[in-house]
Amino acid sequence: MHATDTLAEADRLMTLCNSCRYCEGLCAVFPAMEMRRDFLDGDLNYLANLCHSCGACYHDCQFSPPHEFNMNVPKVLAQARAESYAAYAWPRPLAPMFERNGLKIAIAAALSVAVFIAGFVAWSDPAVLFAAQSGAGSFYRLMPHNTMALIFGLGFLYAMVAIGMGIRLFWKDIGEPAATLVEPPSIWQAMKDASTLRYLDGGGVGCMNDGERPTDTRRVYHHFTFYGFLLCFAATSVATLYHYLLGRIAPYPWYDLPVLLGTLGGVGLLIGPVGLLMAKSKRDPAVVDEKRTGMDVAFLAMLFMTSLTGLGLLVLRETPAMGVLLALHLGVVFALFITMPYGKFVHGIYRFLALVRYAKEKRMLEMGA
Amino acid sequence: MADFSKRYDVLVIGGGNAALCAAISARRDGASVLVLEAAPKFYRGGNTRHTRNMRCAHDAPTQTLSGPYFEDEFYEDLLRVTGGETNEKLARMMIHESKEMLDWIVEQGVRFQPSLGGTLSLGRTNSFFLGGGRAMLNALYQTAEDLGVAIAYDAEVTDMVIEDGMFLSARVKQGEGHVDVRAGALVAAAGGFEANKKWLEESWGPAARNFLIRGTRYNRGTVLKMLTGAGVDEIGDPTQCHAVAIDARAPEYDGGIITRLDCVVFGIVVNKHCQRFYDEGEDVWPKRYAIWGRLVAAQPDQIGYIIFDARSLELFMPSCFPPIKADTIGELAQKLELDVAALEATVTEFNAAVQPGTFDHTQLDDCRTEGLTPQKSHWARRLEQAPFYAYPVRPGITFTYLGVRVNEQSRMMMADGKPSANMFAAGEIMAGNVLGRGYAAGIGMTIGSVFGRIAGREAAANARN
């Protein structure tokens, strides 16, 4: 009846939850559940991705373990969510990337860094690689800008295509028409809900991390991470425009927009991932999908390394360390790009899409009522 | 941490809403407080675990309440559900105090939300806890801990020393042994005896063995028995309990809300001999659900079967177990291990008696039977559209009515009419003072919170003097 044991268990839980409904004020999952009476695999994958894993329902539930009904909604939905990432992976043969994901991401990152170092050594004068550089175009003495843009452009494009295919599979699985994806009110509502992490607050008291006492630290650190990431992405985009539209060649002075955006974002990407890792280490083991801890850690580590190497490059760009740091930074960023479709990054994509659908369902229900 | 060698100002026995409100209010008034919860930490809180709302009077709508609910209306509702079996003075005081409770309980960390789907009829009168009763309890425990209330779990009280209505000490089970705890005042908030099957058997006979208990197994009534044994006056019908018909497949204890079934009005209910025994469509379900526990308890082996057809499947809230399903009534009887011919005959007879009408499950409609005993007065539709469904049901006991008599200070009254020197009671253990019988949604929590707060305050004052 269900594709996996996890989905069968999620069905059992949602059926029990649907006959209680005490948790309906906590987040979007339970109101979305109430709109259904039976739960197909697609419905469960939708609910699983709608769940922000705040943990409140576990501590509020009168039937959580050791009760014989053994209701552990956050954990089971976390498992279903992780399994859904693999199910939507494109191309199919890469689905196993989600097994032992932490190790695989680490290998990808190491390989990518090694290739950039080897490339620098092979294609540029070793004297240049280990010499102090300064002035406009110093990076491009190690790697021509067009080559860099081509490699990263292709890597980014690949990631976008793979993620796009995943979106298609998810949307088909949950049975939502494509038209919903271009409805401005649903998209706008989902953007508001996602950008504020509206549902990572246990219904207003804060999410439950290390026990039954609510805290707000995960939300705060996630904001550091998410907005840090966006700022870094903005920095890269502005720099690209500078290069091609204004003909201004990197590196830029510290007060220029790309550096300011990148520095701010970089700080966010140092604080955020560290905070989230600390929260994760203290998380109540009862609600953790322990098999996937590696996936979460790998993604946070990649974001942290992206920032650390980037900031390192900024500080040391006029010293002989620049060459190696540039290879490190580019290697990490490239690995981050090409592994995006096969790691924790996709949680943001599917959760956002689930929020779009929820916004639509909620609006329909309110219009009907 | 609980220090059993210390003499606390106030000892609270129990760990639910009433106990915690008492503990918090005593502590806020400066008393040192020890809470003894007989259950392990997970099962703390007795019936509060399974609640979800509280009925409080209010003169104006609030963020979570859709309109005013004046004191007089609350009192009229109480008179209606109890058939007048209430103490007017206590009830009116409780209702008056309930107005402040909406703010007070929020100050203790409890959160409200707008009323739930499927319970909109309570949106004006009842405040719903965000996350339900266990979330409410968690908030109260956190507040109590932050205030420095000492709390002990797995701490069952097995004996008490009470002299001339004055509490001296309690004997507490700790692992294999016992410790004696002394305190200046006692608040008994340990619930009723619904989980004590032996006690239930005293009134119900062997039938009680087939009862299912909707709350935890820790509501054993031992504290209640000790108090009445020490001369505290009893109140409430000792033989009665609040009983509803719940899914027979529910666990013996703590099945809670999800085992309830709201489909009696849509079908017929038969006993193990396939005979109907009561008018399933007598009145709207919220007014009748509480009689079905007793009705099923009176049937052989205390079991009944709700039978309905495909048309009714989605008219009621889902419950935790799926209905038993079959293509014919005969097959359904086989699956239920009932006599095939007998169930077919009962359904045929019922179908033949159904009169034409316009079915409307939202009100008392004109679909009824003619010439059938017992009749079905509303929502009577032929059982004819396959598949057919059934839920087995047994009596599910929510709470008991017997309690200790108290005055407006929540102070226990002795059988000789004198007030106790230092003993107070709150919650289900004294609910019979205002709720002699019947029930209105959320009123148990009102009794617990209001009398708990008063009991804590009075006990603290008592201990200081």
Give A14 to chain B, closest Cα distance, Å: 10
Helix (H, G, I), strand (E, B) or coil at B186: strand
Name the band, by pLDDT with cuts 50, 70 and 90, for residue B74: very high
Interface test with B, best of A20, A26, A36 (most B CBs within 10 A): A20
Name the band, by pLDDT with cuts 50, 70 and 90, for residue A130: confident
In sequence order, what E strands does A253-333 have? none
Does any CB of chain B come closer than 8 Å to the CB of residue A47?
A: no
Residues of B in contact with A19 (CB under 8 A): 257-258, 317-320
* DSSP string of B367-385, one letter each residue: --BSS-SS---SS---S-S
Query: What is the rounded distance in angstroms from the CA atom of residue A356 to the CA atom of residue A332?
Result: 32
Taking the mean position of all CA atoms in its chain, how far away is CA B193?
A: 12
Nearest CA in chain A to B319: A19
DSSP B239: T
In this complex, the residue of A15, A60, A63 whose CB is nearest that of residue B135 is A60
Q: How many beta-carbon pairs below 8 A join chains A and B? A: 83
CB A56 to CB B131 under 8 A? yes
Which residue, among A10, A63, A75, has the nearest Cα to A39 in the 3D structure? A10
Contact B137, B126 (CB under 8 A): no
In this complex, the residue of B50, B113, B251 whose CB is nearest that of residue A25 is B113
Does any CB of chain B come closer than 8 Å to the CB of residue A277?
A: no
Give A278 to chain B, closest Cα distance, Å: 23
Which residue, among B417, B397, B395, has the nearest Cα to B405 in the 3D structure? B417
In sequence order, what E strands does B153-277 have? 157-163, 166-174, 177-188, 212-213, 234-235, 241-247, 268-271
Give A250 to chain B, closest Cα distance, Å: 54
Give A180 to chain B, closest Cα distance, Å: 26
Give B92 to chain A, closest Cα distance, Å: 30
> Which percentage of chain B shows pLDDT scores above 90?
91
Task: Read off the pLDDT of residues B85-115 as tens digits, 9 standing for 90 and up.
Answer: 999 999 999 999 999 999 999 999 999 998 7
Nearest CA in chain A to B140: A213
CB B135 to CB A34 under 8 A? no
Kindly report the pTM of this predicted structure.
0.95
Q: Which pLDDT belongs to residue B118?
A: 62
Contact A28, A201 (CB under 8 A): no
The first and second tokens of residue B186, run together, are 């006692």
- Residue type at A182? V
Residues of A in contact with B142 (CB under 8 A): 212-213
DSSP A212: S
The first and second tokens of residue B60, run together, are 């104006």
Chain length of chain A:
369
Q: Which pLDDT belongs to residue A145?
A: 87
Contact A88, A166 (CB under 8 A): yes
The first and second tokens of residue B300, run together, are 């052989």
> Taking 80 as the threshold, does the pLDDT of residue B1 lie above it?
no
Task: Read off the pLDDT of residues A287-340 as tens digits, 9 standing for 90 and up.
Answer: 999 888 899 999 999 999 999 999 999 999 889 888 889 999 999 999 999 999
Q: Which pLDDT belongs to residue A128?
A: 77
Least confident of A100-104, A295-299, B121-125: B121-125
Residues of A in contact with B318 (CB under 8 A): 15, 18-19, 37
Q: Which pLDDT belongs to residue A133?
A: 80
Nearest CA in chain A to B110: A205
In sequence order, what E strands does A10-101 have? none
Largest CA distance in chain B: 74
CB B317 to CB A19 under 8 A? yes
Q: Which pLDDT belongs to residue B177?
A: 92
CB A203 to CB B116 under 8 A? no
Pairing of strands B212-213, B388-400: parallel
Q: CA A73, A76, A79: angle at the middle one, nearest 5?
A: 145
> Which percentage of chain B shows pLDDT scores above 70?
99
Query: What is the rounded distance in angstroms from the CA atom of residue B322 to the CA atom of residue B146?
Result: 43
Nearest CA in chain A to B256: A62
CB B42 to CB A24 under 8 A? no
CB A68 to CB B251 under 8 A? yes
In this complex, the residue of B131, B256, B257 whose CB is nearest that of residue A25 is B131
Name the band, by pLDDT with cuts 50, 70 and 90, for residue B119: low
Helix (H, G, I), strand (E, B) or coil at A125: coil
Query: Which residue, chain included where needed, has tokens 């890792």?
Result: A277
DSSP B220: -
In this complex, the residue of B49, B130, B138 whose CB is nearest that of residue A212 is B138
In this complex, the residue of A15, A24, A67 whose CB is nearest that of residue B254 is A67
Give B135 to chain A, closest Cα distance, Å: 5
Which residue, among A169, A166, A147, has the nearest Cα to A158 in the 3D structure? A166
Give A52 to chain B, closest Cα distance, Å: 16
Name the band, by pLDDT with cuts 50, 70 and 90, for residue B121: confident
Does any CB of chain B come closer than 8 Å to the CB of residue A60?
A: yes
All domains of chain B in start order, with CATH: 8-238+401-464 (3.50.50.60), 244-396 (3.90.700.10)
Helix residue spans in B218-290 (DSSP H): 222-229, 285-288
Task: Read off the pLDDT of residues B184-234 as tens digits, 9 standing for 90 and up.
Answer: 999 999 999 999 999 999 989 999 999 999 999 999 999 999 999 999 999
CB B138 to CB A18 under 8 A? no
Task: Read off the pLDDT of residues A22-71 as tens digits, 9 standing for 90 and up.
Answer: 999 999 999 999 999 999 999 999 999 999 999 999 999 999 999 999 99
Query: What is the rounded distance in angstroms from the CA atom of residue A53 to the CA atom of residue A27?
Result: 10
Residues of A in contact with B262 (CB under 8 A): none
CB A63 to CB B258 under 8 A? yes
